[in-house]
Amino acid sequence: MKLYRIGELAKTARISERTIDYYTKLGLIQPESRGSNNYRLYNDETLGILERINQLKQEKYTLEEIKSMIAKWSAATSDIDVSGKLAELESHMQQLQREVKALEPALSKLKPGQARRALAHLIPQGAACIEAIRILLAQGPPM
């Protein structure tokens, strides 16, 4: 397992050292260990977390929301794939809620017939999403 000092991690992740310091202070990432010279050392998993953080920031999540999601992902053990999938679905649902809120002004201006047609397209997709979550929950963790 490769360990990165903060400068190496920043260069590899293409973010600043100050950002890594900030994320560490917020608890978004944690050093794997400290070297004999007291440098913080980060592992490869931290790179993956930084990629997720950047992706979620592009999707307009706040750092508090990201921290909450990371905590949920970290709590899920590697042998419980269902937990990871549910965390992904929750993240996706939160993004959809944001998009719906952004559309509310336009939706309020629709005529009744237009609103019914839009709703007719949305209901089957929403029902399918809910059914997928129900199936995942019923399956439980893999054996």
The model's pLDDT over 62-96, given as tens digits with 9 standing for 90+, comes to 999 998 888 877 765 554 566 667 777 788 778 87
Same domain membership, residue 121 and residue 63 = no
Tell me the residue range of the domain where 122 lies: 82-139
Same domain membership, residue 132 and residue 111 = yes
Same domain membership, residue 87 and residue 73 = no
Same domain membership, residue 87 and residue 114 = yes
Spatial separation of the C-alpha atoms in residues 40 and 31, rounded to whole Å? 6
Angle at 11 between CA 9 and CA 14, to 5 degrees: 100
Pick the last residue of a domain from 78, 96, 119.
Answer: 78
The mean pLDDT value for 90-116 works out to: 77
Please report which confidence band the pLDDT of residue 139 belongs to, taking 50, 70 and 90 as the band edges. Answer: low
Same domain membership, residue 74 and residue 48 = yes
Q: How many domains does the chain have?
A: 2
Q: Residue 42 belongs to a domain with what CATH number?
A: 1.10.1660.10
Q: What is the 3-state secondary structure (H, E, C) of the chain?
A: CCCECHHHHHHHHCCCHHHHHHHHHHCCCCCCEECCCCCEEECHHHHHHHHHHHHHHHCCCCHHHHHHHHHHHHHCCCCCHHHHHHHHHHHHHHHHHHHHHHHHHHHHCCCHHHHHHHHHHHHHHHHHHHHHHHHHHHHCCCC
Same domain membership, residue 103 and residue 62 = no
The model's pLDDT over 16-45, given as tens digits with 9 standing for 90+, comes to 999 999 999 999 999 988 888 888 999 888
Pick the last residue of a domain from 78, 102, 124.
Answer: 78
Pick the last residue of a domain from 53, 78, 103.
Answer: 78
Same domain membership, residue 89 and residue 72 = no
Nearest Cα to Cα of residue 77 among 87, 67, 68 = 87
Same domain membership, residue 13 and residue 33 = yes
Nearest Cα to Cα of residue 29 among 56, 52, 62, 11 = 52
Q: For residue 74, what are its two tokens?
A: 């970290």
